[in-house]
Structure 1
Amino acid sequence: MNSHPFPFFSSGMRLDADLHLPDDDGVGAPYPVVVPASGYQGLKVIHPERFARALTARGYAVVAFDYRGFGASEGERGRLVPQEWAEDVRAAVDRVSADDLLDAGRIGLLGWGMGGGVAVAEAAEDPRVRAVAAVNCISDGTRSTRNMHDDASWRSLLDRVARDRGQRAANGRSEITSPWDIVRLDLDDRTDGYVGEELYKAPGFGSGVSLESADMLLRFSPQEVVHRLAPRPLLVVHGAENRLHRPEEARALYDHAREPKRLRLIEGAGHTEWMFDEHPTFRELVEELDGFFAEAFPAAGPVSAGAGCAGAGG
């Protein structure tokens, strides 16, 4: 993999990004491009770079970036707003479309977790995106967040968000809270363990989040716009045992989408405990993604056809 800095601006803020290219001395240029949209508290050095290592070996260019306010990107710290993240992904598409090494006619989005919904929201308004894959996604912010909480913690979160609205209106500032007050991990042992052992290795992971961010998440509903992707294809992949973002999120996104669409539930898999480069489940996912994007993109260049995609629909 050949990597170099690839910064771009979104809403006037400079976002830190890297362009990862196949190690082929430019033979495959202009390359088809996949832009990974990271999930909650996501950073480019976690899953986006993991997908880059896997997909560049198959002939794709991959742009991995930190959202505004995260990593080395400019922006307000603690502000984690999926609606604004969709603007950051759109800016990444703008940047890709202007680079001669990259094929503006073969751009795909790959969303992970909350980023799955972000990718859908962006592509629904951006015809330059040829295909969207959503992995372990959220489809509706209120439903997915409610499903992470017990009754007491849910009531507490709603009360805190409501009080924060008044405080913001009065003084222009939102309270910063633990990210795990919003996305509650402790009810999902497999995800909680993986996050503690693996994701905290990334500097800045686990930083505080504003209650305004929670307010905006509860208003975020990608399932309401996913129908606008058609006739561009959608691939939805979800762990069948995912207890963080439950499989009903995948089914709801799939049900609201129009053809062409595919749904795959990975038996025995949770949310993220299998996200290691050499894990068989991750390698199987990469095969599926390769087949999906190769089928969705116009024929050009040496992109692997992969093993194709299995699942419902399409």
Structure 2
Amino acid sequence: MDVLTQKNGDGIVITLHKPSGEGKKTVIVLCHGFCGIREILLPAFAEAFAGAGFAAITFDYRGFGDSDGERGRLIPAMQIADILSVVRWAQQQPELDAQRIGLWGTSFGGCHVFGAAAEVPEIKCIVSQLAFADGEAIVSGQMNEQEKNAFIATLDKMAEKQRNSGKEMMVSVNRVLSDAESKAFFEENRALYPKMDIKIPFLTVRETLQYKPALFAAQVTCPSLVVIAENDTVNPPEQGRALFAAIGAQEKKLYEQADARHYDIYTGAHFQQVIRVQTEWFKKYL
């Protein structure tokens, strides 16, 4: 397997994991989750896909990791545009098959892949793991109606202030996370990976609240696999089921990993089981 890293024309740093052998390679573009960088969590999946004969691409969204862009600016529409930029890059590589490109996304990226595929019908198939259908339910699902309305009003005022003054509150990633799993994950990894130790706009919460991936899923017609974890407290499995139900494609499948939490999927026995299911899906439809 060859590993090549370069920056595309939009300032996005891309790592290509290319299997050995002759001929154009089928492509899987791997799309990271919330504030993720390509050095963590994704390499195991990329290496497994490359070992199965696929060219696997990982990348950093603009504003994160090694890519250009304003640090920490997280807007779903911009990240979907980044995915499409990487797809265009892949289509221009002579050693890659421009007609056989699939998308794989995890967590936030598992939402984004539907927005990308809805815009680019050439995408052959999708794997979405640990994603959600409705950002409002993720952000304010534990609030009562009064708390929710007050919270949204506060975010709206902050957005208006940002528009008028150009200034906004920048906070550590953990300030905008509500679940213990993610807080522990980011606390551990920002020490191991300094590029993750950044500040992001507090209004990222508002971006997430307004994000409705199910609307994109309804527009998708390519074969789509949705993977959920039974004990996920980050993006609860009922959100994954709702996302699956919204998919417009005739060929779709829901796979639930039993006894797994959100971050369990990335390593160990849970990873081995999930990667097998996902590889089979790509081999069938890509």
Matches within 5 A, 1:229-244: 229-230=220-221, 232-244=222-234
The root-mean-square deviation of aligned C-alpha atoms, in Å, is 2.0
Match of 1:248 in 2: 238
Q: What TM-score, normalized to structure 2?
A: 0.92
- Give a deviation string over 1:48-95, Cα, whole Å, max 9, x none: 222111111110111111000011111111211111100000000000
Which stretch has the larger CA shift, 280-289 or 157-166? 157-166
C-alpha separation between the residues in 2 aligned to 1:293 and 1:93? 17
Shift of the 196–158 alpha-carbon distance from structure 1 to 2, 3 Å rule, reads same
Deviation of 1:160 after TM superposition, in Å, equals 4.2
Q: Does 1:211 align with 2:202?
A: yes
C-alpha separation between the residues in 2 aligned to 1:206 and 1:239? 27
Shift of the 206–199 alpha-carbon distance from structure 1 to 2, 3 Å rule, reads closer
Q: How high is the sequence identity, in percent, across the aligned residues?
A: 24
Q: Does 1:83 align with 2:72?
A: no
3-state SS of 1:229 partner: coil
Select the residue among 55, 63, 68 that pairs with 2:62: 68
Match of 2:18 in 1: 21
Matches within 5 A, 1:98-109: 98-109=92-103
- Give a deviation string over 1:186-232, Cα, whole Å, max 9, x none: 2x4xx5444444564222214211133222222211101212211x1
Amino acid at match of 2:13: D
Please list every run of 5 or more consecutive structure 1 residues that lacks an aligned counterpart in the other structure.
298-314
Shift of the 199–129 alpha-carbon distance from structure 1 to 2, 3 Å rule, reads farther
Match of 2:216 in 1: 225
C-alpha separation between the residues in 1 aligned to 2:122 and 2:255? 25
- 8 Å CA contact 1:83, 1:220 repeated in 2: no
- 8 Å CA contact 2:177, 2:183 repeated in 1: no
Match of 2:262 in 1: 271
Shift of the 110–153 alpha-carbon distance from structure 1 to 2, 3 Å rule, reads farther
- 8 Å CA contact 1:131, 1:233 repeated in 2: yes
- 8 Å CA contact 2:174, 2:187 repeated in 1: no
- 8 Å CA contact 1:37, 1:112 repeated in 2: yes
- 8 Å CA contact 2:174, 2:186 repeated in 1: no
Amino acid at match of 1:51: F
- Give a deviation string over 1:13-56, Cα, whole Å, max 9, x none: x111111111x2x32x3111111110001101112222111111
Q: Does 1:291 align with 2:285?
A: no
Shift of the 291–274 alpha-carbon distance from structure 1 to 2, 3 Å rule, reads closer
Deviation of 1:238 after TM superposition, in Å, equals 0.7
Amino acid at match of 2:173: P
Which stretch has the larger CA shift, 103-112 or 152-161? 152-161
Matches within 5 A, 1:1-314: 1-10=1-10, 14-22=11-19, 24=20, 26-27=21-22, 29-147=23-141, 158-186=152-180, 188=181, 191-198=182-189, 200-230=191-221, 232-258=222-248, 259-276=250-267, 279-297=268-286
Aligned length: 284
- Give a deviation string over 1:225-281, Cα, whole Å, max 9, x none: 212211x101000101001110111111111113211001111001013422xx111
Shift of the 173–146 alpha-carbon distance from structure 1 to 2, 3 Å rule, reads same
3-state SS of 2:94 partner: coil
Instruction: Say which structure is richer in helix.
Output: 2
Amino acid at match of 1:237: V
Please list every run of 5 or more consecutive structure 2 residues that lacks an aligned counterpart in the other structure.
none
Q: What TM-score, normalized to structure 1?
A: 0.84
Amino acid at match of 1:32: T
Amino acid at match of 1:136: L
3-state SS of 1:110 partner: strand
- 8 Å CA contact 1:31, 1:103 repeated in 2: yes
Shift of the 173–162 alpha-carbon distance from structure 1 to 2, 3 Å rule, reads same
- 8 Å CA contact 1:157, 1:181 repeated in 2: no
